[in-house]
Each structure stands twice: as structure tokens, then as C-alpha cells.
Amino acid sequence: MKTTGNTVFISGGSAGIGLAIAKKMSASGNKIIINGRSEERLRKALKELNNAVAIQGDLSVKADRLKIAEELKTKHPELNIIINNAGAAFMNDLSDVNNNSAEKAFEEINTNYISVIAFTALTLPLLLQQEDAAIVNVSSIAVFRSNKYLPTYSASKAALHSYTQGLRDTFSENKKLNVYELYPPLVNTEFSAEIGGANGIPASQVADELFVALESNQFEIPVGDTRKIHELVVPITENVPH
């Protein structure tokens, strides 16, 4: 996968991992389109980027997905990389019957899984027109190791993992479209503050490792501590370019 001269859409691109990826890709000569729910955060993020624009909207809402996909089609027809990074996570104590566990799980599944499927389907026609295209789904170390604090979040990321494998298999014979999965461990971002994110790795490390993986067509991208677990459970063949 080329790592310069691309047009890259990044959901959740106004902060955290998404913004770190946007900075890395922007500095490497790519056009960046960041997406997020907050107009204020998007404007702030744009000040840190070169050759970048923003599209405000919530991809977990169908009307917003349709609007964003249409804007990409009409204003950015050269789009060739989408990075599905936006996510939702809640501390969810399953022993607390008053915890609204199902409501939290619904939002996590909708944001981390269903909306990714729906948005990817909307953008696939555009990606398939390009000579070199990629889909990057940002999952998590939680795919392999859940815990009592994030059980439903982990389940949503496990669902995303299975979908990503299926998507990769679906396009395994298409030489122009590659499907990547990025597995961050705990990362020091505002998003992860509630679960001890201050002890995590910097978001820039995640962006750096994604960049290297794109260059080498490494489709499975475990970062930091995730690498140890990934080596135990994922066959080497998962990383073989098609």
C-alpha cells in the first residue's frame, strides 16, 4: 500500500488515536478528511494538520452516515483509504442490576460494529474505483482479552474482528483493495481516561505502527502488548499479502 498521495478518511479523527493517525498521514503527504461529532473539536484538530478538511457528523446515526458518504462521493471522489476509528466504551458492571448494562452494550455495538458495517458498505463503491485502496478497522487488545470492567465493549470489538476477517476474505482476490485490522492496547487518550489510560502507550506509537504496516501490507497490526497475545492466537498466514 502506498503511504503518500492518498486521500484518507478518519472517523473519530479529532482526538486520540484518530488525530495521531491524521497527523502521521498528513505529514507524509496525504490529504486528510477527519470526522467527528463535535464541530469545535474538529476545528481545533484542523489547526494541527496540513492539507486536511473536516466533515462533522455521527456515524452511529443513519442520516449522518448517508450525508457523510454523499459528501465524500461528490467532493472527494479520489478517496482511497477509510480508517474506521470512532468508538464507544463504557465501564459496565454486569453484577449491578441497575447499571443499564444492555443500553450501554447497545451503544457500543452500534458504534463499534453496526455503524462500521453500514458506513463501509456506503463507501465501498468509491473505494473499488481506485487503483490502490484500503479499509482499516481499529479494534482492540480487548478482542483477545476481556475483563470484568469492559465486558460488553470487548464483545463489540470481537464482533468487529470477525467482520473484518470476513471482509478481508470477501476481497481476497481483489488486488486493489486491502483490509487491515489495528489492535491497540491501552492508549493514553481522553477516551481511555476512565479505565486508566494514563498508564497506556502514546497514541503516536499506534499511528507509527499503522504507517509501517501499510507500507509492508501487514494486514494484522497488533501494537505494544497486544503483540504477545496476537502471536499466540492468530496464524502467521493472516499477514500474507494476497
Active site residues: 153
**Cα 181 to chain center, whole Å?**
8
Measured distance CA(191)–CA(86) in Å, rounded: 10
Measured distance CA(32)–CA(45) in Å, rounded: 11
Q: Are 239 and 221 in contact (CB under 8 A)?
A: no
Kind of pairing between the strands at 81-84 and 52-56: unpaired
